[in-house]
Amino acid sequence: MANLAPRSIWTNPIHFLAFGFGSGAAPVAPGTFGTLAAMLLYWLAPPLSPMVYCVLLVVTTVLGIWLCGRTSKDLGVHDHGGIVWDEFVGYWITMFMAPAGVIWMLVGFGLFRVFDIAKPWPIKWADEKVEGGLGIMLDDVIAGILACLCLQGMVFFVG
């Protein structure tokens, strides 16, 4: 019952954002649907300089700590499966300085989802040990960093 999307995501703007503009309300694989929504927003965004992109990553991460923490507290469920703002930011981190193109977006999607689902160390540690909004965000931020490093390695070696 705790994983069902609450009605408040459609009436509370904080919950709406934390649930990824409603993408986290998907009845199955809300994290994957959230990442798909993040991918769409990334695709629609205009090209940004690395500095502006970094600033946006910091802002969306800090905002996410508050959004996710507040929504989690309101719902009384730590890291409700439908809270996917963390997936948004994790995917956007993955795509930092990625080459343009749908292929690279899909590779980034796959890499991020693998790290987010498999949760190797230190992702698993962050997921289990850090509480609140920071805990909700941190494992996906780390997954995004690791996926970004892999993606950049692929760009370097494959081209």
Q: What is the pLDDT along the chain (159 residues), one digit of tens a residue?
A: 345 778 888 989 999 999 999 999 998 999 999 999 999 999 999 899 999 999 999 999 999 999 999 999 999 888 888 999 999 999 999 999 999 999 999 999 999 999 999 999 999 999 899 999 999 999 999 999 999 999 999 999 986
> Using omega within 30 degrees of 0 as the cis cutoff, is the peptide bond preceding 122 cis?
yes
Dihedral pair phi/psi, residue 36, rounded to 5°: -60, -40
Residue 61 counted as domain residue: yes
Give the pLDDT score at 52: 96
In a domain, 133, yes or no: yes
Within a domain: residue 8?
A: no
Domain that holds residue 87: 14-158
| Residue burial 44-57, b: 16+ Cβ < 10 Å; e: rest | eeeeeeeeebeeeb
Domain membership flag for residue 106? yes
CB-CB contact of 5 with 19 (8 Å): yes
Tally the domains of the chain.
1
Residue 91, domain member (yes or no):
yes
Tokens of 27: 């009845």
Residue 94 within any structural domain of the chain: yes
Q: Is residue 7 one of the residues assigned to a domain?
A: no
Pair 91, 31: CB distance under 8 Å:
no
Instruction: Say if pTM beats, i.e. exceeds, 0.95.
Output: no
User: Is 125 within a domain?
Assistant: yes
User: Do 5 and 24 contact (CB within 8 A), yes or no?
Assistant: yes
